[in-house]
Amino acid sequence: MDSKVNLVYIDNNGKLVEDADFTAVGLNGIQAEIADASWIDLPTGADILALPGRLPLGYDEAAEEINVIEGMTAAAAILPMGFTRALIPAYEVDCFQELPLFGYTAVGAVNGKLKVAAIKTDEELKWNPVYYNTSDLPRLIQEKQSQFPGNRILNQLAKCALEYHCLTAQNIFYGRWEAGIPTSPVCNADCLGCISWQAAECCPSPQSRIEFVPTVIEVTELMVQHLEHAVEGIVSFGQGCEGEPSLQRELLVESVRTVRRRTGKGTININTNAGCFEAIRDLVDAGLDSIRVSLFSAVPEHYQWYHRPRGYSLETVRHSLTYAAEHGVMTALNLLFFPGFTNQPAETEALYELVSTTGVKQVQLRNLNLDPEKMAERMIDDEMPSVSQWLDAFRKNFPDVLVGNYTIARQKTE
């Protein structure tokens, strides 16, 4: 059976075509890599998207050269949780138009079976798409809304569950695992890849941001109910439909204190940029169990470029992580991974230093949702390890640091 990974692209009729005359190609930054046996089957829950205005590149084995396929449109895969992309799609810009905020992954095919340049980096048992968007979800939403009438957070989560198919929003209605509790309509950063707010002249946001600040009652009644009854229950501040949760300092601190007076069950987590140290400190002191900090780069210049923080710096983030770790909180990085950037030597060195000096206990890998063209100026023309080699080296250097994709149900240790 032929194992060559063939090029796929979108033809003029919008049809996905497998072209056996060319081998698929992906990019590790600006380094072209020919598809090989390391490419895996397209995971369940993945999507295939066209990249308008971009011509596909394919490798001609006979001529031993990479060619532009004129008149066709490059294709990309969008991966589900639990999979980390190893290469971005290889294309040539024909007529530039900015792409929506997704994590574009190189895709090919073998005899009609789609393949992607990706690595499985976590078990998807809890986050497998088969467990979500079930036929009974609308009924479960109605039942939960009847249980907590007038709760605006629940109404927001219903929208996120049905319109955006958000998994953490759906979990609160399914009564299990990690459930999101959005609270903040504002932010102290202006990240290039923010999925809830973008300037009008930019690409559209895939989600709309929450427009209100809830009350302590709205927050705590949902938290207590989920933590008391959900299997491996986690409640998380800081969702895709909100800004920075720690800016609601008084609300969150009072909510955590109230919940912990009523129940010691489950895990209270915050997904944050950790730029407001006083809020993180107070939340830790109030009983926060875990913290996940979003990070594009541990190099200050690159951190500033992507996150565009207002009123804080990478040093503040270090301070927050260190304080949380020293007080027994499970600390994690939400590492926004981009092949050809994150695995650059200077980026790796800075990340290693951050992890080793702040007591980070977990690195959660996230495929950076951004048009690859935005990253062009951040690429270097030097040899660098593959994503697989990078992961192996990280695990070897930090054997006690967990590497995966999900927040772990774990309570603070005394």
DSSP 203: P
- Residue 57 to residue 342: CA distance in whole angstroms: 23
H helical segments located in 123-248: 137-147, 152-163, 167-174, 216-229
pLDDT at 124: 75
DSSP 122: S
- Residue 408 to residue 318: CA distance in whole angstroms: 21
How far, CA to CA in Å, does 73 sit from each of 15, 52, 54, 76?
A: 10, 6, 6, 10
Phi (first) and psi of residue 389, to 5 degrees:
-65, -40
Positions of the chain with pLDDT lower than 70, given as ranges: 1-2, 196-207, 410-414
Cα dihedral sign for 98, 103, 107, 112?
Answer: negative
- Residue 256 to residue 240: CA distance in whole angstroms: 21
CA dihedral 45, 403, 171, 272 (to 10 degrees): -120
User: What is the separation of C-alpha 81 from the centre of its chain, rounded to a whole number of angstroms?
Assistant: 8
Structural domains in the chain plus CATH codes: 6-120 (no CATH), 129-404 (3.20.20.70)
CA distance between the termini of the chain? 57
Name the amino acid, one letter, at 178. E
pLDDT at 412: 42
Phi-psi region of 139 (alpha: psi -120 to 50; beta: other; left: phi over 0): alpha
- Please name which of 216, 198, 213 lies closest in space to residue 100, comparing C-alpha atoms: 198
pLDDT at 204: 52
Task: Give me the half-sphere count of Cα atoms (radius 13 Å) on the Cβ side of residue 65.
Answer: 4
pLDDT at 207: 59
- Residue 298 to residue 300: CA distance in whole angstroms: 6
Asked if 174 and 342 touch (Cβ cutoff 8 Å), the reply is no
Tokens 């979500």 belong to: 132
DSSP 299: S
- Residue 63 to residue 231: CA distance in whole angstroms: 57
Cα dihedral sign for 364, 365, 369, 373?
Answer: positive
Tokens of 409: 């149900």
State the pairing for strand pair 31-34/16-28: antiparallel
Name the amino acid, one letter, at 69. I
Name the amino acid, one letter, at 37. A
Phi (first) and psi of residue 243, to 5 degrees:
-90, -135
pLDDT at 130: 85
